[in-house]
Amino acid sequence: MNSPVIEIVGVKKIYDLGETEVRALNGVDLQIVENDYMAIMGPSGSGKSTMMNLLGCLDTPSEGQYLFAGEDVAEMTDDELADIRNRRIGFVFQSFNLLAKATTLRNVELPLVYAGLHPDTRRERAKEALVKVGLSDRMTHRPNELSGGQRQRVAIARALVNKPSILLADEPTGNLDSKTGEEIMALFDQLHQLGNTIILVTHEDDIAMHAKRCVRLRDGIVESDKKI
C-alpha cells in the first residue's frame, strides 16, 4: 500500500574543514514510506542534525542519491528546493521559531505567502490548520501571550498548513516540560492516525516510543532500524 516518499541510497555528507574533513554522514540508506512514523535517534555527533537538514532539503548530499517523491534532490536548484520545503515538508523546531511580532494566524499563514496563495485562501487554510491543533480560540494572540505548548501547536499548524508530504520535527518537546511534551506527542500520534507521515529527530527514548519505527545513527551510519 505504501509507496516510498523518501529514498536515500548511499548518502554521504562531508564537510571540508581545510586540513581535516568531517564525514557527518558516511553512507546512509533509508526508505521512508507514506504514513511512516519514524524516530531518528543517536548521540550528539552521530549525524542526526545533518540527516535532518538533508531530509528537510535544507542541504544536499555530497555523495549518493536522495529521491524525494521520485525526484533527485541533488539536481534541484535553490528555488526548487525552496518550493519542495514549502509544499512537501512541514518543519517543527525545538524552539518553535515563530515570528514574535506576528499573530498566531499570520504565523500559520506564512508558508502560504511564499506559496503565492490569495490572502483569503491563506486565512481560510490557516484557520483550518489551527482547528486541527486545537487553537481555534487563539488566532489573534501573539507568541508571547501563549504558553510553550500552545506555541508549539502554532508551529505544528504552520507545518501542516500547506498539506505537506512529511512532517519533520526536530526535538519538538525539547523546550517543553514533560507533561506538555506528552500533549504535543499525543497530537503527533493523532496526526499520524489521520494519515500524515512524521519524522521525529530526538534523543529521548520516551519521545521515540511514540513512533512506529526507530532509526539509530552512530558515527554517520545507520546502526539500527527497528519497528517498535
Partner 1 sequence: MKQLGYEIVESIAIAIEQVYEHRMRSLLTALGVMIGIIAVTLMGSAIRGIDVGFTSNLSILGMNTFYLEKWPWKDVGDNWIQYRNRPPIPASYSEKLNNSILSTENSSLIIAVPMVKNRRKISKDDRNIQGVEIIGTNADYPLVDNAEIELGRFLSEVEVLRGRNVVVLGHEVAASLFPEDLEESIGAYVNIQDIKYKVTGVYKKQGSVLGIGNFDKNVLMPLPSMRKFFVSKRYHSATIKIQKKEEASFEDATDEITGAVRLIRGLKPGQKDNFSINQSTAVAEEIAPVKRGIAIAGFGITGLALFVGAIGIMNITFVSVQERTKEIGTRRAIGARKRAILIQFLMEANMICLIGGIIGVFISFLIKLVLQRFIPEFPLIMSGQLILVAMLVSVLTGIGSGIAPAWKASRLDPAEALRHE
**What residue ranges bind partner 1 (CB under 8 A)?**
53, 56, 58-59, 78-79, 82-83, 85-87, 91, 93, 97, 99, 101, 110-111, 113-117, 119, 158, 162
Q: How far is the CB of 177 from partner 1 (least distance, A)?
A: 21
* Complex with partner 1: residue 132 or 210, whichever CB lies closer: 132
Which residue from 85, 27, 99 is spatially nearest to 53, judged by alpha carbons? 85
Q: What are phi and psi of 165, to 5 degrees?
A: -75, -35
* Complex with partner 1: residue 98 or 214, whichever CB lies closer: 98
The span from the CA of 114 to the CA of 82, in Å, is 9
Q: Which residues pair with 14 in a beta bridge?
A: 23
Q: How far is the CB of 178 from partner 1 (least distance, A)?
A: 24
* Complex with partner 1: residue 19 or 78, whichever CB lies closer: 78
Q: How far is the CB of 56 from partner 1 (least distance, A)?
A: 7
* Complex with partner 1: residue 18 or 116, whichever CB lies closer: 116
* Complex with partner 1: residue 33 or 110, whichever CB lies closer: 110
The span from the CA of 113 to the CA of 125, in Å, is 12
82 Cβ neighbours under 8 A, 6+ residues apart: 114
67 neighbors 73 (Cβ within 8 angstroms): yes
User: What letter would DSSP give residue 46?
Assistant: S
Q: How far is the CB of 80 from partner 1 (least distance, A)?
A: 10
Q: How far is the CB of 58 from partner 1 (least distance, A)?
A: 4
Grid cell 545513527 in the structure block, residue:
217
